[in-house]
Amino acid sequence: MRNPYEASTKIKSSDPDIPERWWWPGLFGVLATPVAMVLAVISHAFGHGDGFADDLLFPLHRPVRILLRSENVAAYIMYFGQFALYGVVLALAARRHRLLVTVSVLVSFHIASFLLRDRIADLLISVRG
């Protein structure tokens, strides 16, 4: 029998169905955020670029900007929140053993958002007036 006062060197989950390293996608999402932000800024080339990487990495930035009517608020929400939110969603999916399905759904959502970003923005402009 194990001594209850003895320190354990390894923390294990009380639920055997939860994988030990379920948190790594969340960490990846947090670490991907500054890299994506730098790539987005570089793609604008200090006002002389086309911003393609910004559109590719943050496809909902323009629709959120139109919806909120604020460039700064939309930028903060998208640049700091998008990949962190992706990481949280993926970490929760990994915890439930649904990582592959969730990655497929998020990648599909991201690609669809990129391809439809102009149509979404036009729709929001017509609705907002």
Residue 28 lies in a domain: yes
Confidence of residue 128 (pLDDT cuts 50, 70, 90): confident
- The answer to whether residue 95 scores a pLDDT higher than 80 is yes
Q: Do the domain assignments include residue 47?
A: yes
Q: Structurally, how many domains does the chain consist of?
A: 1
Whether 85 maps to a domain, the answer reads yes
- Does the CA dihedral 51-53-59-60 come out positive or negative? negative
What span, in angstroms and rounded, lies between the C-alpha atoms of 76 and 82? 10
Does 113 reside within a domain?
Answer: yes
Q: Is residue 15 part of a domain?
A: no
Question: Is 117 domain-assigned?
Answer: yes
Tens digit of each residue's pLDDT (9 = 90 or more) over 34-72? 999 888 888 877 667 777 888 899 999 989 999 899 888
Residue 68 lies in a domain: yes
Q: Looking at residue 97, what is its pLDDT?
A: 87
Range of the domain at 69: 24-128
pLDDT tier for residue 3 given thresholds of 50, 70 and 90: low
